[in-house]
Amino acid sequence: MKKIFYLIIIAGALLSFGFSSYYPIDGYKTTGIKRLYQLQKFKEDSVPYKRIPFGAYKKLEDIKLNLRSRTDSIDALLVEDKDFAKDMSKLFPGAGYSGSIMDMSNPDKLRYAAFRENVGYQPGSVGKLAVLLAVFDQMAKVCPDSWEQRAMYLRDIKVTSRYWGLGDHHTIPIYDIEKDKLVKRQVIATDEFSLYEWLDHMVSVSNNGAASIMYREAMLMAAFGPEYVNLTAETSEQYFKDTPRDSLTNLAHSVVNEPLRRLGITEDDWRLGGMFTRSPDKYVGRKGGSTGTPKGLMKFLVQLEQGKVIDEKSSLEMKRLMYSTDRRIRYAKSTRLDSAAVYYKSGSYYKCDRVKNPNCKDYAGNVFNYMNSVIIVEHPNGVKYITCLMTNVLNKNSAGNHMYLASMIDDIINKDNNAMKEAIKEVEYKSDKEDN
């Protein structure tokens, strides 16, 4: 059951909350994301922690938006630089690969390159960024006049999983502060976390159940408006029982897709067609299918850096939620990026025909084999860029190629820093059950 909040909030408490996982390690006090408490304690007590590289230790105050000075329209910014594009196009193997790259090291002189950037791919878990946007968009409508109030609700409103969060193999980190114990397991129906923690589970470990739960909450915010903050689990479930399925399907579709359209991201650029787990299907249907293009995703990330996604504070907070403070996978695993801060989301979706190939492996589908990476990279030397890479290469785990391309792209953009480093070679990628 959610807490009932008062409209009058002590000003001192608001100031202490600030503007606030992949979330900066010092963010526990502002978000209540418990796993950050353990990481912060490791850091304060000088406990060796080799799971994350140097670039993962930025503080809240260090994370900023890079393109606030550029008020241009997104179409005016995504103009290809011929020389930059020529260098980048040499890296892409051809069919099955698409990408877009924005070098924003100098905001006054952006460089953009793209390769088959309008080709659509099943976005997989990258589509969870649309749910993240939907939650922040609806929260802005629930509390239109106060960012501090929105942030407080994200931290203090707690919701249970129920059937919405079931059916995903990805585990979530659950840290007990009193017992100083961390366990990782799948979501169960009785799990209760704050909105911030569910968002962290959705983005940082790509839990599908958490994505469906936050999709649900975005729908409830849209349906109940300001009264959402007093909503109980019982009233929430009754709403889904009483509302016609087609109405709920249309609401679900509009909640996640309309904010994208307001950013100039077309239906062909990027759309989300439904929930990430099957249990909600009895109430909420799917509509239109899901697709994404490198250009559509680039439109989102560039405008995020401009502070135009809802508003500046919302843009900054969404960027913080994308900040990687856990182990890095696929594209982000490139050693070229170890010293860099990365804001990252990866996703895959594949299908195997076992009749055609009984030995068809995970992430190497022979029917389709989508793998996608979107990343903002910020090096200590001021080199900053965005890459959106989407692939569909059959019979091959493309994670190794993503990691190789990450190194090659970095060698071009960060050439002064990398010139004396040993050349990167493409190697077989060793994935594990946590890869998403």
Q: What are phi and psi of 256, to 5 degrees?
A: -90, -20
- Model pLDDT, residue 10: 27
Confidence (pLDDT) at 55: 87
Cα–Cα distance for residue pair 392/394, rounded to 1 Å? 6
Contact 207, 173 (CB under 8 A): no
Question: pTM score, two decimals?
Answer: 0.91
CB atoms within 10 A of CB 305: 26
pLDDT at position 131 is: 98
> What's the CA dihedral at 359, 360, 364, 366 to 10 degrees?
140
pLDDT of residue 49: 66
Amino acid code (one letter) for 360: C
Spell out a b/e string for 32-42, using b for 16 or more CB atoms within 10 Å of the CB, else e: bbbbbbbbbee
CA angle 90, 94, 98 (to 5 degrees): 90
* Torsion sign across C-alpha atoms 99, 202, 105, 263: positive
Q: How many separate helices (H) and strands (E) can be counted in the chain?
A: 15, 11
Q: Which residue has the tokens 């995970």?
A: 362
Closest C-alpha to 130, from 378, 301, 307: 301
Give the C-alpha separation, 64 to 66, whole Å: 6
Neighbours of 363 (CB within 10 A): 18
* pLDDT at residue number 22: 62
Ranges of residues in the chain with a pLDDT under 50 are 1-21
Burial of 342 (0-12, 13-18, 19+ CB in 10 A): buried
pLDDT in tens, 108-143: 999 999 999 999 999 999 999 999 999 999 999 999
Q: Which of 209, 190, 184, 188 is nearest to 199 (CA)?
A: 209
